[in-house]
Amino acid sequence: MKNIYSNIYSFNTKSLKKTIKSLKQGKLVGLPTETVYGLAGNAYSGKAVKKIFKLKKRPKINPLIVHYNNYKEANKDVILDKNFFKLYKKFCPGPITFILKKSTKSKINSLVTANLDTVAIRFPSNRIVKTILKLLNFPLAMPSANIASGVSPVSAQDVFEDFKKKLKIIINGGKSKIGIESTVIDLTGKPKILRPGIISSNEIKDFLKITLSSKRNSKIKSPGMMKKHYSPGIPIIFKGKPSKLNHAYIVFGRKHKNNQNYFNLSKKANLREAAANLYKILRKIKKKGYKKIFIDKIPYRGPGLAINDRLLRASK
């Protein structure tokens, strides 16, 4: 695919060099990952981390995920325990984020963690971001590369839409394979899913023989999680069907017509495919000028839990 904007780069030796240089200088870059695109900066640098919050317009109370190439590097900053290694062996690198206790010798900037004594860490599998992490001697703080509370980006173009030329480098890694953010699991107490993702609690249960609660409430562990999020900026409605042509209908499965205002997440009724299409479809509906979005029933199992979670929060 051709890059039509001067700050979107294909991944090659030249752009890699430029990216590494920028990150070492405390600048930010837009990077592809297997889940969604991230806004990356040096997690040890206050200067870089401040820029992330500012550019995203993110509330300071919402902590960031720190990305590493492997557990050996993370070992310096967090306390890795038995439960962590069980899941690491099975799912990493990949779309899962662990909340762990920060170690006393950790170099992670306190802004990253919103002054909490815990850190969210992730090991992305995307080839481009892995190559970059290998060449750095610091981890990357990397939230999704969108303005706070908006829809997460699944292409370099999406990142450009939110930040325009304010971001000097966006690496084009094509469409994000998974298309929704990583599963977040808190391992600081009884293991608990804080944000559902493609890796479901059922899959995790097979490796961690501990009761998992997917209930998000009781005590909000991560401040940013209950607020409005993933919003395309138009009302989202779970009951009923569209009655006007300027209402869009997000549907799932075979039974639907090909009406112009119908957007099918997966004609094959495949939940993984639906997750991968979700954000692209939300952006498309917004761009086409629809005034409301109605949602068809999407099954509450596997990736369907994550899809329903994102849509519910987008509707707030």
CB nearer ligand TXA, residue 193 or residue 208: 193
Task: Select from 116, 140, 265, 275 the one that contacts ligand TXA (CB under 6 A).
Answer: 116
Please, which of residues 174-233 interact with ligand TXA by CB under 6 A?
A: 181-182, 184, 194-195, 221-222, 224-225
Residues in 276-315 at the binding interface with ligand TXA, rule: CB under 6 A: none
Comparing CB distances to ligand TXA, the nearer of 51 and 195 is 195
Q: What secondary structure does DSSP assign to 209-246, as a single string?
A: -S--B----SS-SSGGGSS--S--SS-EE-SS---STT
- Kindly state the smallest distance separating residue 190's Cβ from ligand TXA, in Å: 15
Write out the E strands in 104-212: 118-122, 140-141, 170-172, 183-186, 192-195
Six-digit token string for 137: 């001697």
DSSP 9: E
The least CB distance from residue 112 to ligand TXA, in Å, is: 8
Q: Which two tokens stand for residue 289?
A: 């000028």
Please choose, out of 54-62, 79-87, 140-148, 278-286, the segment that lies near Mg ion by the rule CB under 5 A: 140-148
- 30's contact among ligand TXA, Mg ion, none, with CB below 5 to 8 A by partner kind, is none
Distance CA(11)–CA(119), nearest Å, equals 30
Q: Which does 116 bind (CB under 5 to 8 A by kind): Mg ion, ligand TXA, none?
A: ligand TXA
Q: Is 144 in the site for Mg ion (CB under 5 A)?
A: yes
Question: Do the Cβ atoms of 253 and 223 come closer than 8 Å?
Answer: no
Q: What angle do CA 112, 113, 116 make, to 5 degrees?
A: 160
Is residue 38 classed as helix, strand or coil in its secondary structure? strand
In angstroms, give the least distance from the CB of 144 to ligand TXA. 4
CB of 115 to ligand TXA, least distance (A): 10
Give the pair of three-digit tokens for residue 207: 């490796």
Residue from the set 93, 139, 143, 303 that interacts with ligand TXA by CB under 6 A:
143
| DSSP-derived pairing of the beta strands 170-172 and 236-237 | unpaired
Contact in structure between 183 and 221 (CB atoms under 8 Å): no
**Nearest residue (CB) to ligand TXA, 227 versus 292:** 227
65 interface partner picked from Mg ion, ligand TXA, none, CB below 5 to 8 A per type = ligand TXA
Using the minimum distance from each CB to ligand TXA, give the nearer residue, 269 or 312: 312
Closest CA to 100 of 124, 74, 125: 74
Q: How many residues bind ligand TXA (CB under 6 A)?
A: 29
Q: Give min distance, CB of 175 to ligand TXA, in A.
A: 14
Per DSSP, helices labelled H in the chain are 13-24, 46-56, 71-74, 82-91, 127-135, 156-163, 201-205, 271-287, 303-314
Q: Which residues pair with 192 in a beta bridge?
A: 186, 213
Size of the site for Mg ion (CB under 5 A): 1
Q: Which residues in the 11-70 window bind ligand TXA by CB under 6 A? A: 33, 35-36, 38, 62-65
Contact residue for ligand TXA among 15, 144, 200, 201 (CB under 6 A): 144
Contact 64, 143 (CB under 8 A): yes
| Residue among 36 and 49 whose Cβ is closer to ligand TXA | 36
Residues that bind ligand TXA (CB under 6 A): 33, 35-36, 38, 62-65, 97, 99, 113, 116, 118-120, 122, 124, 142-144, 181-182, 184, 194-195, 221-222, 224-225
Residues that bind Mg ion (CB under 5 A): 144
